[in-house]
Amino acid sequence: MKEAKATEPSAVKALLAQALADLLAPLQKALPVGEHKPTVMMIAGVNGAGKTTSIGKLTWHLSHQGSSVLLAAADTFRAAAKEQLAVWANRNNVEIVSQEGADPAAVAFDAVTAGKARGRDVVMVDTAGRLPTQLHLMEEIAKIKRVITKADATAPHETLLVIDGNTGQNALAQVKAFDQALQLTGLIITKLDGTAKGGVLAAIALWAREQAEKKQTQPMAVYFIGVGEKLEDLETFDALEFAQALIG
């Protein structure tokens, strides 16, 4: 502020938004689709974060870009979960792989195998919600990932964590725990259509930068934000827009 001789509140706000945008910029990346056929994505997160809804919206987004999508109902804990995903599959007019009373890893395996056999561009694997403290469930989701790799040695190509934008600082703990279990490649932040602004993303960006430096890798991406419950309510992440909305 001294350097820019900013005294007006609006000028200070703009500088703050720019500083935040610079911090978030490395997270802004386009979701790569097309390098692998199928591109296999698994979607993880706590209960109610918006995993299934985001898969529905992402299916719409990718279909409109010309990709053929296959969904895997690997949330086998609740009968309703499969039906919920089937509703999104119907809305998008895409196929879904599910099994009665099956093991989630087996459903994921079948879906990846079917995606290859049917020549689909994208396979998305829905999973049951779980808390990082439920260690047996964290172990189970790591197993789902390993079994996906058995169906396709290069898969999963994306391992995404869905975070509810209302979560606050606990979101960072979620990112750390799911990353440890799954080596996340990206995030989707949901419910940014309400009062939530997703400020915790600043802490996540700092952590992601540290991790990337330590491991000499690219930081994980924030691919999309959820801004409602309809098919079209998914937007690609824009660091500057996000920062400006946060500063207000």
Ligand X SMILES: Nc1nc2c(ncn2[C@@H]2O[C@H](COP(=O)(O)OP(=O)(O)O)[C@@H](O)[C@H]2O)c(=O)[nH]1
Q: Say whether residue 226 binds ligand X (CB under 6 A).
A: yes
Please report how close the Cβ of residue 148 comes to Mg ion at its closest, in angstroms. 18
Q: Say whether residue 53 binds ligand X (CB under 6 A).
A: yes
CA dihedral 39, 231, 205, 146 (to 10 degrees): -30
Q: Say whether residue 45 binds ligand X (CB under 6 A).
A: yes
Token pair of 174 as six digits:
């979620």
Question: Which of 22, 213, 229, 232 is close enough to bind ligand X by CB under 6 A?
Answer: 229
* Binding positions for Mg ion, 36-75, rule CB under 5 A: 51-52
Q: Say whether residue 26 binds ligand X (CB under 6 A).
A: no
Given a contact cutoff of 8 angstroms between Cβ atoms, the answer to whether 18 and 94 are in contact is: no
Q: How many Cβ atoms sit within 10 Å of the Cβ of residue 127?
A: 29
Given a contact cutoff of 8 angstroms between Cβ atoms, the answer to whether 125 and 148 are in contact is: yes
Q: How many Cβ atoms sit within 10 Å of the Cβ of residue 235?
A: 16
Q: Say whether residue 159 binds Mg ion (CB under 5 A).
A: no
Please report how close the Cβ of residue 174 comes to Mg ion at its closest, in angstroms. 16
What is the spatial distance between Cα 179 and Cα 226, in angstroms, rounded to a whole number?
21
Question: Which of 31, 62, 141, 227 is close enough to bind ligand X by CB under 6 A?
Answer: 227
Q: Which residues bind ligand X (CB under 6 A)?
A: 45, 47-53, 129, 162, 190-191, 193-194, 226-229, 233
